[in-house]
Amino acid sequence: MYSYKHKIKYYETDKMGITHHSNYIRFMEEARTDFLCFHGFDYAKLEEMGIISPVVSVQCKYKATTTYPDEIEIFVTVGEVRAAKIQFDYLMKKADGTVCIEASSEHCFLTTDGKIARLKKDFPDFYEAMQKLAENK
Protein backbone atom coordinates (compact mmCIF):
# COMPACT_ATOMS: atom_id res chain seq x y z
CA MET A 1 0.00 0.00 0.00
CA TYR A 2 1.23 3.44 -0.95
CA SER A 3 2.60 5.62 1.84
CA TYR A 4 4.69 8.77 2.06
CA LYS A 5 7.41 9.35 4.62
CA HIS A 6 8.34 12.62 6.27
CA LYS A 7 11.25 13.02 8.66
CA ILE A 8 10.51 15.74 11.21
CA LYS A 9 12.95 18.63 10.89
CA TYR A 10 14.41 20.53 13.82
CA TYR A 11 12.85 23.75 12.51
CA GLU A 12 9.41 22.09 12.57
CA THR A 13 9.47 21.84 16.37
CA ASP A 14 8.37 24.53 18.80
CA LYS A 15 9.32 25.50 22.36
CA MET A 16 6.92 22.86 23.74
CA GLY A 17 9.53 20.44 22.34
CA ILE A 18 7.15 18.91 19.80
CA THR A 19 6.31 19.30 16.12
CA HIS A 20 4.25 22.49 15.79
CA HIS A 21 0.68 21.50 14.95
CA SER A 22 0.49 23.75 11.87
CA ASN A 23 3.15 21.68 10.14
CA TYR A 24 0.94 18.63 9.76
CA ILE A 25 -1.23 20.67 7.37
CA ARG A 26 1.94 21.02 5.29
CA PHE A 27 2.72 17.32 5.54
CA MET A 28 -0.79 16.61 4.23
CA GLU A 29 0.03 18.67 1.13
CA GLU A 30 3.38 16.92 0.69
CA ALA A 31 1.74 13.50 0.95
CA ARG A 32 -1.23 14.42 -1.27
CA THR A 33 0.87 15.78 -4.14
CA ASP A 34 3.17 12.77 -3.89
CA PHE A 35 0.17 10.42 -3.86
CA LEU A 36 -1.35 12.09 -6.92
CA CYS A 37 2.00 11.98 -8.72
CA PHE A 38 2.28 8.27 -7.85
CA HIS A 39 -1.09 7.75 -9.55
CA GLY A 40 -0.06 9.65 -12.67
CA PHE A 41 -1.20 13.15 -11.80
CA ASP A 42 1.83 15.37 -11.39
CA TYR A 43 0.61 18.54 -9.68
CA ALA A 44 3.46 20.63 -11.11
CA LYS A 45 2.38 19.60 -14.64
CA LEU A 46 -1.29 20.22 -13.93
CA GLU A 47 -0.35 23.70 -12.74
CA GLU A 48 1.71 24.38 -15.87
CA MET A 49 -1.44 23.48 -17.84
CA GLY A 50 -3.23 26.22 -15.90
CA ILE A 51 -5.20 23.96 -13.60
CA ILE A 52 -5.04 25.01 -9.98
CA SER A 53 -6.56 23.33 -7.00
CA PRO A 54 -7.35 25.49 -3.98
CA VAL A 55 -7.96 23.89 -0.61
CA VAL A 56 -11.59 24.26 0.48
CA SER A 57 -11.26 22.92 4.01
CA VAL A 58 -8.96 20.95 6.31
CA GLN A 59 -9.53 19.16 9.53
CA CYS A 60 -6.92 17.52 11.69
CA LYS A 61 -7.07 15.52 14.91
CA TYR A 62 -3.90 15.37 16.96
CA LYS A 63 -3.76 11.91 18.58
CA ALA A 64 -0.10 11.80 19.66
CA THR A 65 2.82 14.21 19.50
CA THR A 66 5.97 13.80 17.41
CA THR A 67 9.31 15.58 17.50
CA TYR A 68 12.67 15.84 15.75
CA PRO A 69 14.00 13.42 14.46
CA ASP A 70 10.91 11.19 14.25
CA GLU A 71 9.97 9.72 10.91
CA ILE A 72 6.26 9.59 10.23
CA GLU A 73 4.48 7.51 7.63
CA ILE A 74 1.49 9.09 5.92
CA PHE A 75 -1.29 7.04 4.33
CA VAL A 76 -3.44 8.97 1.86
CA THR A 77 -6.81 7.78 0.57
CA VAL A 78 -9.44 9.35 -1.65
CA GLY A 79 -12.39 9.91 0.63
CA GLU A 80 -15.18 11.15 -1.55
CA VAL A 81 -15.44 12.34 -5.14
CA ARG A 82 -18.17 14.82 -5.87
CA ALA A 83 -19.15 16.87 -8.92
CA ALA A 84 -16.72 19.66 -8.14
CA LYS A 85 -14.86 18.62 -5.01
CA ILE A 86 -12.63 15.79 -3.82
CA GLN A 87 -11.91 14.80 -0.24
CA PHE A 88 -8.61 13.21 0.75
CA ASP A 89 -8.12 11.40 4.06
CA TYR A 90 -4.83 11.05 5.90
CA LEU A 91 -3.57 8.74 8.59
CA MET A 92 -0.13 9.46 10.02
CA LYS A 93 1.82 6.93 12.07
CA LYS A 94 5.00 7.07 14.09
CA ALA A 95 7.72 4.46 13.62
CA ASP A 96 6.27 2.34 16.45
CA GLY A 97 2.87 2.23 14.73
CA THR A 98 1.17 4.82 17.00
CA VAL A 99 -1.36 6.90 15.10
CA CYS A 100 -0.39 10.55 15.57
CA ILE A 101 -2.74 12.26 13.09
CA GLU A 102 -6.15 11.65 11.54
CA ALA A 103 -7.02 14.30 9.00
CA SER A 104 -8.88 15.18 5.84
CA SER A 105 -8.92 17.95 3.27
CA GLU A 106 -11.33 19.03 0.55
CA HIS A 107 -10.24 20.51 -2.76
CA CYS A 108 -11.93 22.06 -5.73
CA PHE A 109 -10.31 22.58 -9.10
CA LEU A 110 -10.24 25.65 -11.31
CA THR A 111 -10.13 25.52 -15.10
CA THR A 112 -7.71 27.75 -17.00
CA ASP A 113 -10.34 30.51 -17.22
CA GLY A 114 -10.62 30.55 -13.41
CA LYS A 115 -14.01 28.83 -13.16
CA ILE A 116 -14.72 25.95 -10.79
CA ALA A 117 -14.34 22.76 -12.79
CA ARG A 118 -17.04 20.11 -13.11
CA LEU A 119 -14.66 17.19 -12.72
CA LYS A 120 -16.56 14.63 -14.83
CA LYS A 121 -16.83 16.99 -17.80
CA ASP A 122 -13.67 19.09 -17.48
CA PHE A 123 -11.14 16.48 -16.29
CA PRO A 124 -12.72 13.08 -17.13
CA ASP A 125 -9.49 11.06 -16.79
CA PHE A 126 -8.74 12.55 -13.41
CA TYR A 127 -12.35 12.12 -12.28
CA GLU A 128 -12.42 8.45 -13.24
CA ALA A 129 -9.06 7.71 -11.61
CA MET A 130 -10.15 9.37 -8.36
CA GLN A 131 -13.47 7.46 -8.45
CA LYS A 132 -11.55 4.18 -8.70
CA LEU A 133 -9.22 5.12 -5.88
CA ALA A 134 -12.21 6.05 -3.72
CA GLU A 135 -13.84 2.66 -4.36
CA ASN A 136 -10.73 0.56 -3.83
CA LYS A 137 -9.45 2.14 -0.65
| Minimum separation from the CB atom of position 43 to a second copy (A) | 7
Alpha-helical regions (H) of the chain? 23-38, 43-48, 119-122, 124-135
Given the rule CB under 8 A, which residues bind a second copy?
A: 9-11, 13-18, 20-23, 25-26, 29-30, 33, 42-44, 47, 52, 54-62, 65, 67-69
| Minimum separation from the CB atom of position 37 to a second copy (A) | 8
Closer of 48 and 135 to a second copy (Cβ): 48
Closer of 54 and 124 to a second copy (Cβ): 54
Closer of 110 and 131 to a second copy (Cβ): 110
| Minimum separation from the CB atom of position 76 to a second copy (A) | 15
Among 14, 89, 122, 125, the one annotated catalytic: 14
* Residue 14 annotated to the active site: yes
Burial of 52 (0-12, 13-18, 19+ CB in 10 A): middle
In sequence order, what E strands does the chain have?
4-7, 55-62, 71-81, 85-93, 99-108
Q: Are 35 and 76 in contact (CB under 8 A)?
A: yes
Positions annotated as catalytic residues are 14
